[in-house]
Structure 1
Amino acid sequence: MGNLPTRLKGLRAERGVTQDQVADAVQVSKSLIAAFETSRLSPKQDTAAALDAFFESGDEIQKLSTEARKNRRPTPSWFRPWRDLEETAVILRYFQATLIPGLLQTEAYARAVFASTGMLSDEEVAARVASRMERQAAILDRADRPTFAFIVDAAALRCGPAEIAKEQLQHLADTSARPNIFVHVVPDTAGLHAGRSGSFSLATQEEGDTAALLDDFYEDRVIVEPSRVTGLERTWQAIAAVALPCEQSRDLILRLVNDYDDPVSELAEVQP
């Protein structure tokens, strides 16, 4: 029977269909099929059943998916509540002061971020990168298409070695073109602003309840107390007020992409 990615690719080759065609047949995104075929994500039960039906493979994919989930490194207990919130929220907002948000990171950028701590083994870095890629596929490609808003400080756009930064910025620009994803950049000209205190995220559910996640050095903290969540929502609004509109933000990001092809370009300051 083999492992899940190998079997999925084999079944697709036997049928002579593309990832796009499989995605259309089971009503998921192409990127989700790609994630299944590269071990970044395992199909949930209903998706696995749909794949079995499409490939006429009995319950083979369902069994392989169950086995793959058993063998996958579990999400840390402190992060599980936030993952649960991300998987059901209808509006997700993220502010990052120093790095590209995790959901928008390329694999190479994520690897560099985890390796930069100097405290993780190669195996631990690889495991964390795999977990981040899995989270991206699970959250960004949700079938119910929540609304995403990301605000990134301009300093984060200049963070990282040139060999991965250009690819990361292009990925950021490409992702921002999706209709349910809005990316804003706070330019250097904003000076001191409310976001200088640190990064955080907000998840709003269908019924209107909102929870927050505060970045921490060791373990991020989920905040549900209404008064604290309200304070972070006010901070979000204050940051959004000094951020560039989406189109200007995307133009700025693409300018930086082009600057990597210009050896005399100066990336010292990001202006609107």
Structure 2
Amino acid sequence: MPPRRAVTGRSQEPRQRFIEELRLLRAQKGDSLRKLGEVLGWDWSLFGKMESGQTIGSPEVAQALDQYYGTKDLLLTLWELAAGDPTQFKERYRRYMALEAEAVSLWHFGVSTVHGLLQTEGYAQALLSAGGSSGEELTRQVEARIGRRGLLDGDHPPRFRTILSEAVLRTPLEDAELWRKQLEHLIEATARPNITLHVLPFSSGLYGLDSTAVMFLRLPDSRTVAYTENAHRGELIEEAGPVEHLQGAYDAVRDLALSPAESRKFVMRMLEEVPCDPST
């Protein structure tokens, strides 16, 4: 006897089922791929590749689609199954992404790297490659990271303040041209009214967040949550006491940092030190 097909008539193979749902939901919405890209902030070709099975995208993309279509965690769950490891996408990070999308303001301290919201594609690829990603996984992660930059665009984008340790700006990419583009991107970002950049110089001495990158999210209900991260793990913190303690450390770091105007000049000096390509 042949195997019974599902009542829905849809594939039970995870990757194919994911593709089918993507196509069905877009058809029901009546959107073109180009419109989907414009609304969600990713290049429209990514959605075409996902619907044709060339890539499954990333968890960030799946979650954004769930929010757009009103399908709760359907696509995110199917993405996890298609990726082959339902445990790899941790619940706390899933919740963090949902909160980040809702935040009315964000403030960040980077101890060793530029935050993903301000990374160029070249910087993101180099950073993720150094972390061990490669092949299709690397492509998915880079696409997701660049797509998240759309959070700071639009008519009413959230305010974003970032403090970068001088170590971030003293750790160039191996490719000088890619590093130049990243520094230029940071300088361009400082001209946007919703983005504030500070540099914490080495001369500031020791400080309370010397081994911790942290992001604070101010939510519509006036709550603040924090997300701390190191090379091996990230942790979402929602309890008021620990968040307040981290905020105190962050405020102390901000007091030590250069002003936005001086920070812009600092980044420009770093840009001037990047060696030029002799062929240009």
Q: How high is the TM-score relative to the length of structure 1?
A: 0.70
Q: Output the CA distance in 2 between the equivalents of 1:45 and 1:197.
A: 35
Q: Does 1:234 align with 2:241?
A: no
Q: Output the CA distance in 2 between the equivalents of 1:124 and 1:213.
A: 24
Task: Report how far residue 143 of structure 1 moved.
Answer: 4.3
Q: Of the candidates 131, 138, 145, which is equivalent to residue 157 of structure 2?
A: 145
Q: Does 1:87 align with 2:101?
A: yes
Shift in CA distance, 113/143, structure 1 to aligned 2, threshold 3 Å: same
Q: Output the CA distance in 1 between the equivalents of 2:229 and 2:66.
A: 32
Shift in CA distance, 70/171, structure 1 to aligned 2, threshold 3 Å: farther
Q: Secondary structure at the match of 2:146?
A: helix
One-letter code of the match for 1:131? A
Alignment RMSD (CA, Å): 3.4
Q: Output the CA distance in 2 between the equivalents of 1:259 and 1:45.
A: 44
Q: Output the CA distance in 2 between the equivalents of 1:257 and 1:191.
A: 24
Task: Report how far residue 213 of structure 1 moved.
Answer: 0.2
| Partner in structure 2 of residue 125 of structure 1 | 138
Q: Output the CA distance in 2 between the equivalents of 1:80 and 1:216.
A: 17
Q: How high is the TM-score relative to the length of structure 2?
A: 0.68
Task: Report how far residue 193 of structure 1 moved.
Answer: 1.6
Q: Output the CA distance in 1 between the equivalents of 2:117 and 2:152.
A: 7
Q: Output the CA distance in 2 between the equivalents of 1:81 and 1:45.
A: 14
**Are 2:96 and 2:236, in contact at CA under 8 Å, matched by a contact in 1?**
yes
How many residues were matched structurally?
224
Task: Report how far residue 261 of structure 1 moved.
Answer: 4.5
Q: Output the CA distance in 1 between the equivalents of 2:127 and 2:266.
A: 23
**Are 2:33 and 2:45, in contact at CA under 8 Å, matched by a contact in 1?**
no
**Are 1:91 and 1:146, in contact at CA under 8 Å, matched by a contact in 2?**
yes
Identical-pair percentage: 29
Which residues in structure 2 correspond to 1:208-223 (within 5 Å)?
208-223=222-237
Q: Secondary structure at the match of 2:43?
A: helix
Q: Does 1:189 align with 2:203?
A: yes
**Are 1:212 and 1:229, in contact at CA under 8 Å, matched by a contact in 2?**
yes
One-letter code of the match for 2:189? T
| Partner in structure 1 of residue 238 of structure 2 | 224
Q: Output the CA distance in 1 between the equivalents of 2:45 and 2:259.
A: 35
Q: Of the candidates 105, 109, 124, which is equivalent to residue 110 of structure 1?
A: 124
Q: Of the candidates 238, 258, 270, which is equivalent to residue 244 of structure 1?
A: 258
Q: Secondary structure at the match of 1:93?
A: strand
Which residues in structure 2 correspond to 1:37-186 (within 5 Å)?
37-39=44-46, 76-77=89-90, 78-117=92-131, 119-137=132-150, 139-159=151-171, 160-161=173-174, 162-186=176-200
**Are 2:204 and 2:256, in contact at CA under 8 Å, matched by a contact in 1?**
yes
One-letter code of the match for 2:46? S
Segments of 5+ residues of structure 2 without an aligned counterpart are 1-22, 27-31, 48-60
One-letter code of the match for 1:167? K
Q: Secondary structure at the match of 1:144?
A: coil
Q: Output the CA distance in 1 between the equivalents of 2:127 and 2:144.
A: 14
Deviates further, 189-198 or 167-176: 189-198
**Are 1:158 and 1:165, in contact at CA under 8 Å, matched by a contact in 2?**
no
Q: Secondary structure at the match of 1:79?
A: helix
Q: Output the CA distance in 1 between the equivalents of 2:220 and 2:153.
A: 18
Shift in CA distance, 258/125, structure 1 to aligned 2, threshold 3 Å: same
One-letter code of the match for 1:37? W
One-letter code of the match for 1:36? D
Superimposed CA distance per residue, residues 158-209 of structure 1 (whole angstroms, 9 cap, x where no aligned partner)? 2222232111010011112110110110012112122213111100113321
Segments of 5+ residues of structure 1 without an aligned counterpart are 12-18, 49-65, 264-272
Task: Report how far residue 39 of structure 1 moved.
Answer: 2.4
Shift in CA distance, 152/256, structure 1 to aligned 2, threshold 3 Å: same
Task: Report how far residue 123 of structure 1 moved.
Answer: 1.9
Q: Does 1:36 align with 2:43?
A: yes
**Are 1:154 and 1:187, in contact at CA under 8 Å, matched by a contact in 2?**
yes
